[in-house]
Every structure is written in structure tokens, then in C-alpha cells.
């Protein structure tokens, strides 16, 4: 295969891992999150530092506090190295909405993921992640508007519209 085409395919696969991770966090689909990492990977995420299984348990407890979360990623820059390793830097913004009125519970946060990716058995996954907080802005409770009851809203219980669509076509991201 042309090396340029191989590089494009590798970068696309790595970016899709980052996007699946965000979907998994926002939908609280922790099997999807776990699948973004190699089993022996490490995650350094704010106050957390540990294995993938420890991270999943930690983020489960953390995201449970929120009515919803939304991760928006923009700049995803992948630098392929010799062999089956890559560096990936992702810029993003996450929104966290809680019913808890304390001002630090509902926030917008700017972040970067700095990931070491490795291709093992033909699959690119995260081998080591460092999540870097860039800024945080509290969003007061009175700034939020509720989605009208006759509109579809996000679900975090496995019954979100995207999860139903994927199941209906026999796909799993």
C-alpha cells in the first residue's frame, strides 16, 4: 500500500478512537470507553492516575453526578512515528450539567488529551493518556434552559437515539 494512504488510514483510525471515547463518556457506555484503550494502558486525568479499569470505575462515579455531559473535540493532530506508535494531541471543550446548585458542579472546561497510541494486533488504541485542563468556567443554574418535554433529549442509559440507531443496523462503534 502507498505509505501516504497507509498514513491517512492510520490517522483516521486514531481520530475515530478519540471520538468513540467521547461518545462513550457522554453516553456513559463504559465498555465503549474501555475499548479505546489497550488493556495495560494508563490514564492520567486530573486528580486520577491509574489503569484503565481503575479509570473506568473513577469516571463512572464522576459522570454519575451530572445530568449530562458533552465533549466537543476540534484539533486532533496525529504524529505517526516509526513502527506502530503515534502521538495524538486533541483540543476540546466539555460541558457538564448537574442539578447540584453549587457553582463548581455545572461547568464548561477546555482541555487537551495528549495520547500515546500503539497499534497492536492491527488495532490502534490508547497506550497512555494525559488529560490536561486548560480552563474552567462555571455556568450558573439560571443560565440553563430546559429542553422542551416534546423534544428528544439525550439519554445516558443505553437508550439514546444513536445507540438505538446502531442496534437497528447491527453496528457497534
Q: What is the 3-state secondary structure (H, E, C) of 118-156?
A: EEECCEEEEEEEEEEEEEEEECCHHHCCCCCCCCCCCCC
> Is residue 172 situated within a structural domain?
no
Distance, in Å, from the CA atom of 124 to the CA atom of 126, rounded to the nearest integer, reads 7
Q: Is the pLDDT of residue 7 over 90?
A: yes
**What Rg, from alpha-carbon coordinates, does the chain have?**
17
**Percent with pLDDT over 90 in the chain:** 77
Question: What CATH number corresponds to the domain at position 74?
Answer: 3.10.450.50
pLDDT at 171 (0 to 100): 86
* Domain count across the chain: 1
Closest CA to 137 of 170, 172, 111: 111
Whole-number average pLDDT of the chain: 94
pLDDT tens-digit readout, 121-145: 999 999 999 999 999 999 998 888 8
Amino acid at each position: 500500500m502507498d505509505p501516504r494512504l497507509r498514513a491517512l488510514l492510520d490517522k483516521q483510525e486514531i481520530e475515530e478512537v478519540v471520538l468513540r471515547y467521547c461518545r462513550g463518556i457522554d453516553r456513559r457506555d463504559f465498555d465503549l470507553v474501555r475499548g479505546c484503550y489497550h488493556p495495560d494502558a494508563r490514564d492520567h486525568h486530573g486528580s486520577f492516575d491509574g489503569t484503565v479499569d481503575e479509570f473506568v470505575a473513577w469516571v463512572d462515579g464522576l459522570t454519575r453526578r451530572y445530568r449530562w455531559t458533552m465533549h466537543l473535540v476540534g484539533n486532533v493532530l496525529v504524529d505517526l512515528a516509526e513502527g506502530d506508535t503515534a502521538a495524538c494531541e486533541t483540543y476540546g471543550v466539555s460541558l457538564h450539567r448537574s442539578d447540584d446548585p453549587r457553582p463548581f458542579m455545572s461547568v464548561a472546561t477546555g482541555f487537551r488529551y495528549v495520547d500515546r497510541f500503539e497499534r497492536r494486533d492491527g488495532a490502534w488504541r490508547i497506550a497512555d493518556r494525559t488529560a490536561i485542563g486548560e480552563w474552567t468556567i462555571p455556568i450558573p443554574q439560571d443560565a440553563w434552559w430546559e429542553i422542551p418535554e416534546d423534544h428528544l433529549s439525550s439519554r445516558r442509559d443505553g437508550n439514546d437515539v444513536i445507540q438505538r440507531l446502531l442496534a437497528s443496523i447491527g453496528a457497534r462503534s
